[in-house]
Amino acid sequence: MVVHALEGAAPVRVGFVVSKGVGNAVVRNRVKRRLRALVAERLAHLDGSIVVVRAQPAAATSSSAQLGADLDRCLQRVCP
């Protein structure tokens, strides 16, 4: 997973990029739903940021706990 962030924006906005390399449409939509739920739990830590989350192919087979840990690690790097 790769996360890009731009701080200083008034409302928090989050976008997701899940390419065809992750899987077919069903798999890509499942990954987006899971990531959307994980980011919703962490919105309080993203005050005033624009965040783009790009899923890697391994996200298709990762558990929610693994995705959450990876997301936390990436967010700590870009939004300390």
**pLDDT per residue of the chain (80 residues) written in tens, 0 to 9:** 788 877 776 788 899 999 999 999 999 999 999 999 999 998 887 777 788 999 999 999 999 999 999 999 988 888 76
The predicted model scores a pTM of 0.85
Domains of the chain: 2-78 (3.30.230.10)
Cα-to-chain-centroid distance, residue 80:
16
